[in-house]
């Protein structure tokens, strides 16, 4: 019995340590992001939240006795959708925006640092060309096509269906013969 109690206490201590570490990591991440995010973006968020509060304060309360407003209110609220879900969705998007800024700023700093080093070594042009080629290779997709995904090249699609916006020979011929208004 005491062995089980010791195991339980040890597991609880580990869990508390892990939770504390996660909290410290989140706090340090937040501090780092607040350091990197310019004050302009923070001010924009504050201004936007103040505008939303003012708009909410200026709204009139709906008349509950009116049957039309009840129908409108029931239609506008989706079943199972709560405000906390919407707020969490907004917070997730805020974190992704901060992560995006952080990630690309770190890439830029690293690239500029390496570029200055290679400039000092008189290999700046070589580094620039190689980094452009690496960027092109990293931005092309090497994974296979998803099921149902169409290709930009119509010969690879089922029944040779082309994507919207493709200039086909038939369309070009119609435009030359009958004018641009002939093509939808």
| Cα radius of gyration (the chain) | 29
Cβ–Cβ < 8 Å for 145, 157: no
pTM of the model: 0.38
pLDDT band at 111 (very low <50, low <70, confident <90, very high): very high
More confident residue, 32 or 93: 32
For residues 64 and 45, what is the distance between their CA atoms, to the nearest angstrom?
33
pLDDT, residue 75, reads: 43
- The three-state DSSP-derived secondary structure of 156-170 is HCHHHCCCCCCCCHH
Q: Give the model's pLDDT for residue 74.
A: 44
- pLDDT tens digits, residue range 121-153? 999 999 999 999 999 988 887 778 788 788 888
Sequence-separated (6 or more) residues with CB below 8 Å from residue 131 = 111, 115
Which DSSP letter does residue 82 get?
Answer: -
**Confidence (pLDDT) at 88:** 54
Structure confidence at residue 171 (pLDDT)? 82
**pLDDT band, residue 47 (cuts 50/70/90):** low
Residue 59 near residue 73 (C-beta atoms within 8 A)? no
Average pLDDT, rounded, for the chain: 76
Cβ 103 vs Cβ 36: under 8 Å: no
For residue 26, what pLDDT band results from cuts at 50, 70 and 90? confident
Tracing tokens 């090497």 back to the chain, one arrives at 142
State the pLDDT at residue 73.
Answer: 45
- Looking at per-residue confidence, does 39 or 60 come out higher? 39
How much is the pLDDT for 98? 78
Residue 160 — very low, low, confident or very high, per pLDDT cuts 50/70/90?
confident
Token pair 């925006």 is found at: 97
**pLDDT given for residue 151 in this prediction:** 81
Contact (Cβ atoms closer than 8 angstroms) between residue 37 and residue 101:
yes
In the chain, what's the furthest Cα-to-Cα distance? 93
Residues sharing a CB contact under 8 Å with residue 118, sequence separation 6 or more, in sequence order: 124, 126, 127
Using DSSP's 3-state secondary structure scheme, residue 62 falls into: coil
């Amino acid at each position: 019995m005491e062995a089980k109690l010791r195991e339980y206490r040890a597991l609880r201590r580990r869990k508390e340590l892990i939770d504390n570490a996660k909290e410290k990591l989140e706090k340090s991440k937040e501090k780092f992001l607040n350091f990197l995010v310019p004050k302009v973006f923070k001010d924009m968020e504050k201004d936007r939240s103040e505008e939303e509060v003012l708009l909410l304060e200026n709204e009139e309360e709906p008349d509950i006795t009116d049957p039309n407003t009840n129908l409108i209110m029931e239609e506008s609220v989706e079943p199972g959708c709560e405000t906390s879900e919407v707020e969490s969705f907004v917070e997730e998007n805020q974190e992704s925006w901060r992560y995006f800024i952080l990630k690309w700023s770190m890439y830029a700093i690293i690239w500029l640092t390496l570029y200055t080093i290679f400039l000092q070594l008189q290999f700046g042009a070589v580094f620039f060309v190689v980094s452009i080629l690496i960027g092109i290779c990293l931005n092309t997709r090497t994974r296979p096509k998803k099921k149902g995904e169409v290709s930009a090249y119509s010969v690879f699609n089922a029944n040779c269906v082309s994507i919207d916006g493709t200039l086909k020979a038939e369309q070009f011929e119609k435009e030359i013969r009958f004018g641009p208004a002939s093509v939808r």
